[in-house]
Structure formats: structure tokens, C-alpha cells
Structure 1
Amino acid sequence: MMITLLSPMQTVCLAQQLADRVYQGDCIALSGDLGAGKSTFARAFLKALARDESLEVPSPSFALVQPYDTPKGPVFHYDLWRLSGPEGLYELNWDEACEAIMVVEWPDRAEDLLPQEALHVHLTYGEKEEERHLTMSGWPESRLMGLSV
């Protein structure tokens, strides 16, 4: 499924809708170039899960993982940009996180440790400055039906 997002607000809107559709054990794998909107998507997704627009969502770039308690249960936000290899995931509560809700930026660095049932969300630059193309794959179409911006 491919959606064109014309502004960061549309990215936020889509992330909020997706947060309503996740359950414990789900993994959202966010990929795309630097500045393509992964962090915008992740912040909106986490704030929606927490049901708290004022929630501070720091980038987990240096800690690599940031855990959250939400009404839907535990959530782990990973930024694997600085991960030296997938074996390092075991030191970051990866096994526990796979039972929770996960948001993983730079998921390719997890290699085959990424859950097979992950929803892959890939963001690319569009024609205009704020435009992005978002592609989703990995979940049945029935779980994505009705998403709109």
C-alpha cells in the first residue's frame, strides 16, 4: 500500500491511525533516508499510543532504545542507526520487546532478528519540499483498510 503525504501533519495523522490498530507483539519497522520523516512518524505514533499529546519523545539515537508504558501496554522505541551488529540487541531487552509493541527505526540493522510479521513502513521524498511517499507492507490488507490522510 502506498500513500502520498503532502505535509508532516498528514504523516502525524497516519501514524495516529496506525496506533489504533496495533496490539502487543506488533512491530512497526520504519525505514527511509535521513530526514524523510521517520522520527515525525514515530513521535506521533508513540504520543497516540500513550494518549498524551504532551508526551516527550526523545530520539533513542544514543541510548538505542526508549521504553514507554501506555494504555495498550509496554512499547519499545528503537533507533538502530548506531547499532554495531544485531547481537547487540540482546543487551537492549530485544526478547522482551518482541512480546510488546515495537517501533524500530533503521530496522535493516536488526537483520533477521526483526519479527517476520513486522509492518514495514518506508518513507521517501516526494516531488515537493514537504511531500513524502509512504509504503507499507508485511500486514494483511485487512489491517490497513481505511487508513487515510
Structure 2
Amino acid sequence: MLFYIDQVKQLAKRVSEIVKHGDVITLDGELGAGKSTFSKFLIEALGFDYIGSPTFSKIITYESPKHCLWHCDLYQMGDQSNQKHTVINSKQNTFNQLNEYIYDSESGILIVEWACKYPNLKLLEDIIEIKIEHYSENQRKISITKHGRFNYITI
């Protein structure tokens, strides 16, 4: 479906109404498609002040009495074979940390940008996969694939 920016915000609000601890939202799409914008809208809809994209920090944790949320950006998690040893260690540390969140996911909500770089996420049960494509300056094509309990929920 095609979405204008205000409709993307409404979609993020709808997702915020149905997610709970243990859920995973994955975001994929080309650079500049709107993954971080969707994340921002979702994080704000969940009641947090958006800190920014975790492109360089890899993972940002948001906590409140109601929610714990981990926002991950795996953009820099490229092909290991072309990277230096220290970068490989950094990538492995990020994936290890991500695994900890996944195994402890009942205590929070996980949002992962560039999820295609970490295929193990597809093994999880309750996932909303969102693919965002640049359609025009003001519109994005958004595809949603639901897994687990989300199969029975209208988004």
C-alpha cells in the first residue's frame, strides 16, 4: 500500500496499540526509505521521547514504568569478510547483545532496522515485518508481513 507521511504516523500509532513485551518489529528497505522515521513515530506513540537513530550506537534502550523497548539499527553490520578484526568483534558483540534481548524479549519490545542483516529474527514467533520502499518524495510503499499472534490482528 502507498502511504503519505501522516499515514505512516497513523500506521505506527496502530502498531503501538497492539505490541506488547516479547514482540519484535523488523524494518527493512533501502537507505533513506523511512525506517528511522517509522521507528521515531512508533517510539513516540509508545510514550517515549525519541533520542535518535542508533546507527552508530547500534542499540538504544528506552525504559518507562509501562514499557521497555530496544531500538536496534544494524545498518553497519555488513559482510564480515570485508571488515577488519575489530569491526568483526564489534559486530559479534552487537549480535550477542541482540541475542540477549531476544532471549529476554518477554521483558521488552524490540524494533530492528535493517533486520535483513540478522536472519535469525525470522525464527521468532510474534513478529511484524515491515518493508518500506521509496515511491515518491511524499509517499512510501509499505508491505507488512505478520507472524504468530499478529496473524489474527488487523493493522
**TM beyond 0.5:** yes
State the Cα distance separating 1:142 from its structure 2 match. Answer: 2.1
Aligned to 1:105: 113
Which residue is equivalent to 2:44?
47
> What secondary structure, in the 3-state scheme, does the structure 1 residue paired with 2:118 have?
helix
Aligned with residue 128 of structure 2, among 119, 125, 128? 119
For structure 1, list consecutive stretches of 5 or more residues without a partner in the other structure: none
State percent identity of aligned pairs. 26
Any gaps of 5 or more consecutive residues in structure 2? 81-90
Higher relative helix content: 2
**TM-score, length-scaled by structure 1:** 0.81
CA contact (8 A) 2:29 2:133 kept: yes
Q: Which residue identity is paired with 1:130?
A: N
Residues 1:94 and 2:77 aligned together: no
Count of paired positions = 137
One of 43, 51, 54 as aligned partner of 1:57 = 51
Within-5 A mapping of 1:1-149: 3-5=1-3, 7-49=4-46, 51-52=47-48, 55-83=49-77, 87-88=92-93, 89-90=95-96, 92-98=97-103, 99=105, 100-117=108-125, 118-126=127-135, 128-139=136-147, 140-143=150-153, 145=154, 147=155
Normalized against structure 2, the TM-score is what? 0.78
Q: Which residue of 1 aligns with 2:87?
A: none
CA contact 1:76–1:101 (8 Å) conserved in 2? yes
Alignment root-mean-square deviation, CA? 2.0
Q: Please report how far the alpha carbon of residue 111 of structure 1 lies from its aligned counterpart in structure 2 after TM superposition.
A: 2.1
CA distance in 1, matches of 2:71, 2:21: 14
